[in-house]
Amino acid sequence: MRGWLIPVVLLAAAIALPFVVPTYYVQFVSKAFIMGILAMALNLAVGHGGLVSLCHAAFFGLAGYVLALLSPGYDPASLLLTLPAAMLAAAAVALIIGALALRTRGVYFIMVTLAFGEMLFFLFHDTGIAGGSDGAYVNAKPEIAIAGHQLLDLASPMAFYFVVLFFLIATIAVLTMLVRSPFGHALAAARDNERRARSLGFPIYRIRLIAFVISGAIAGLAGYFAAAQFGFVAPQMLGWHLSATVLVMVLIGGLRSVTGPLIGALVLIVLEEVLKASTDYWKLIEGLIIIVIVLALPGGVRQLWPMIVGARADGPSPRQAAPPVAESRHG
Amino acid sequence: MDLVTFGVQLLNAIQYGMVLFLVASGLTLVFGILGVINLAHGAFYMFGAYLAYWIAAYTGSFWIAMVAGVAIAFVVGLVLENVFIRRLYGRDHLVQVLLSFGLILVIDEAREILFGKDVHSVAPPAWLSGSIQLTDNLSYPVYRLAICGFCLIVAALIFFVITRTKIGMIVRAGAENREMTRVLGIKFDVVNRYVFAVGIALAALGGIVIAPISTVFPGMGDGMLILSFVVVVLGGIGSVAGAAVGALLIGLTDTFGKVFFPSVSSILIYVLMAAVLLWRPNGILGRREV
């Protein structure tokens, strides 16, 4: 019974939220949801595929740039046209980078994805595409219109929130189906024991590439809405610092679940907001917190839960309740 | 392009490649021996440059700045290995990536607190600050030549230590088969600590020697980190000789790319990397099996 009760309660809370809190918080939660979509997308590659990618910000930023480039001056762009275009562009680039990077393993893969991600950063930074290092504006938020009739204008924070919420739920649904499908099992098998999965006849390279491309496309979905919300795109959107920050969200949320990274995104964004408000040296504190989390909670903040609850209910063995994810990944 | 210009560009390429080699050899050593991927490597390069600026400004001597900067980086490396890095041995790459990312944030903020975020320049030593007149309107700075010479000496030293000394033997054995070397009674705790400190010191040294010909600015470590990664991917992880080959290749590609194809020069090295990945996914001098 608890299985469906919690999601329903959370969904009801998410729907009720914009009617009870001020606009600022509606926008803040929209931003957190967008980063949650990005983190969940990344986790398809990292957690389920075992592919530690440091170039997902490039897919995210690229999709944002597609919206900026396709926006017609000061008129709103059509979401139904520009969103697929943005996701397709992200998927196409993910296909190229993935096809090359997946020829390598482990630490090589990390370095190669990082390098290709930075290549895209420099492409937008050094050349004149969409304003170079200054970035470009998205003057009007996109609208959903059919045959000239405007159905929904994303300029209203409330409408924007619900559209993002819709895509958040869609992302969770798609990722959950993927992970539970035979494809998802094959992907996990390749992560846990590549040699064995290969000898069972799974086309590892193709499976990983497909997962990487889907992951890149969903990262593009997040980037599209991020660009629409901020009304501005800059090369920093593609930079690897964002990729690493999203990896932190994934780790905080836990690698083995679909929605964990969403929680990780919420935790990290709230944390950043609190730190920024309370100290000038927030990066120092954030860095130290990241280090502590990485060393103490390799399974994410969810690991705290069995520690707290388990210690009370099942007696003293919180460590056994949650084996560190990192150690179980060798094999 | 006449021969003199070509020669000047070639020297630039070699000098650029040599500095890259200094930084990347530290990265590849740390990965080869410790099995740790250190994203904070570029941050130490940046920190080295700021240390050089700061010490040179206080003492007025570039040489003191160089020696003190490398020494400080070495000690910081020892401390960091002891406090953080040794907890990463044998751990997942993701954990290593994120811990070193946390370190970057800490080092960046430490730099901001200690030195601020201004852009600085450092004066080269007086007797190296001149330039050699090549033709009527072409001259070459002596300091750049000195960098080439200096880096060659450091590179020769690294190769000598690795191929000819007992320490080098341990380091090579460790890179080849860590477990076996441990079983043979080598105390890896100590080896690891010093290798990491040397790696950090090499990154800082790269930042120090580059400081007089480039500006010292907060983001300089990021670019260097990416370039070092490309060098390591080109050459093969853990191979110092591979790092030398990769660094020179990038120096040549980048310098001559800017001369011949200025519009696409910034992505040429990545095209090179993609080509090497298609040809030899484990790097030019990397082992076939990983």
Q: Are residues A240 and A305 in the same domain?
A: no
Q: Establish if A11 belongs to a structural domain.
A: no
Q: Establish if A8 belongs to a structural domain.
A: no
Q: Are residues A123 and A144 in the same domain?
A: yes
Q: Please tell me which residue of chain A has the smallest CA distance to B233.
A: A108
pLDDT of residue A321: 39
Answer whether A290 sits within 8 Å of B31, measured CB to CB: no
Tell me the C-alpha distance between A276 and A133, whole Å: 25
Distance from CA of A43 to the nearest CA of B (A): 12
Q: Are residues A244 and A304 in the same domain?
A: no
Tell me the C-alpha distance between B140 and B269, whole Å: 25
pLDDT of residue B79: 95
Has residue A224 got a pLDDT over 80? yes
Instruction: Tell me whether 0.90 is exceeded by the ipTM.
Output: no
pLDDT of residue B135: 75
Tell me the C-alpha distance between A189 and B277, whole Å: 25
Q: Establish if A212 belongs to a structural domain.
A: yes
* A106 reaches B (C-beta below 8 A): yes
Distance from CA of B48 to the nearest CA of A (A): 19
pLDDT of residue A330: 40
Q: Which residues contact A76 (CB under 8 A, 6 or more apart)?
A: A140, A141, A142, A143, A153, A154, A155
Tell me the C-alpha distance between A274 and A312, whole Å: 30
Distance from CA of A83 to the nearest CA of B (A): 27
Confidence of residue A302 (pLDDT cuts 50, 70, 90): low
Q: Round the average pLDDT of chain A to a whole number and report it.
A: 86
* A143 reaches B (C-beta below 8 A): no
Of A270-274, A299-303, B229-233, the poorest mean pLDDT is in A299-303
Q: What is the pLDDT along chain B (290 residues), one digit of tens a residue?
A: 688 888 888 988 999 999 999 999 999 888 888 888 899 999 999 999 999 999 999 998 899 999 999 999 999 999 999 998 888 887 888 889 999 999 999 999 999 999 988 898 888 888 888 888 877 777 888 888 899 999 999 999 999 998 899 888 888 887 777 788 888 888 778 888 999 999 999 999 999 999 998 889 998 998 899 999 999 989 888 788 889 999 999 999 999 998 888 877 778 888 898 888 888 888 888 765 44
Q: How many residues does chain B have?
A: 290
Q: Are residues A319 and A235 in the same domain?
A: no
Using a CB-CB distance cutoff of 8 angstroms, which residues of chain A are in contact with residue B98? 244, 247-248, 251, 290, 294
CA dihedral B124, B115, B207, B215 (to 10 degrees): -60
Q: Which of A245, A260, A249, A255 is nearest to A327 (CA)?
A: A255
Using a CB-CB distance cutoff of 8 angstroms, which residues of chain B are in contact with residue A111? 37, 229-230, 232-233
Q: How many CB pairs under 8 A join A and B?
A: 131
Answer whether A298 sits within 8 Å of B95, measured CB to CB: yes
pLDDT of residue B200: 95
Tell me the C-alpha distance between B228 and B91, whole Å: 22
Q: Which tens digits make up the pLDDT trace of A283-298? A: 899 999 999 988 887 6
Please answer whether residues A138 and A228 qualify as being in contact, where contact means their C-beta atoms are separated by less than 8 angstroms. Answer: yes
| CB neighbours of residue A128 within 10 Å | 7
Q: Which tens digits make up the pLDDT trace of A176-218? A: 999 999 999 999 999 999 999 999 999 999 999 999 999 999 9
- Among the partner-chain residues B84, B91, B113, the one whose CB lies closest to the CB of A281 is B113
Q: Are residues A182 and A207 in the same domain?
A: yes
Q: Are residues A255 and A313 in the same domain?
A: no
Tell me the C-alpha distance between B137 and B8, whole Å: 13
Q: Which tens digits make up the pLDDT trace of A152-177? A: 778 888 899 999 999 999 999 999 99
Give, in degrees to the nearest 5, the angle at Cα B15 between B14 and B17. 60
Using a CB-CB distance cutoff of 8 angstroms, which residues of chain B are in contact with residue A240? 222, 226
Q: Establish if A5 belongs to a structural domain.
A: no
Q: Establish if A1 belongs to a structural domain.
A: no
pLDDT of residue B3: 83
Host domain of residue A311: 299-331
- Among the partner-chain residues B98, B112, B273, the one whose CB lies closest to the CB of A294 is B98
Helices and strands counted in chain A (H then E):
16, 4
Q: Are residues A225 and A276 in the same domain?
A: yes
Q: Establish if A245 belongs to a structural domain.
A: yes
Q: Establish if A14 belongs to a structural domain.
A: no
Q: Establish if A182 belongs to a structural domain.
A: yes
pLDDT of residue B111: 92
Q: Are residues A260 and A315 in the same domain?
A: no
The DSSP symbol for A281 reads: T
Question: What total number of domains does chain A contain?
Answer: 2
What pTM did the predictor assign?
0.88
Answer whether A107 sits within 8 Å of B93, measured CB to CB: yes
pLDDT of residue B240: 85
Q: Are residues A147 and A282 in the same domain?
A: yes
* A290 reaches B (C-beta below 8 A): yes
Q: Are residues A195 and A327 in the same domain?
A: no
Q: Are residues A241 and A225 in the same domain?
A: yes
**Burial per residue of B147-172, b for 16 or more beta-carbon CB atoms within 10 angstroms, e otherwise:** bbebbeebbeebeeebeeeeebebbb
Confidence of residue A308 (pLDDT cuts 50, 70, 90): low
pLDDT of residue A309: 61
Q: Are residues A95 and A112 in the same domain?
A: yes
Tell me the C-alpha distance between B121 and B216, whole Å: 6
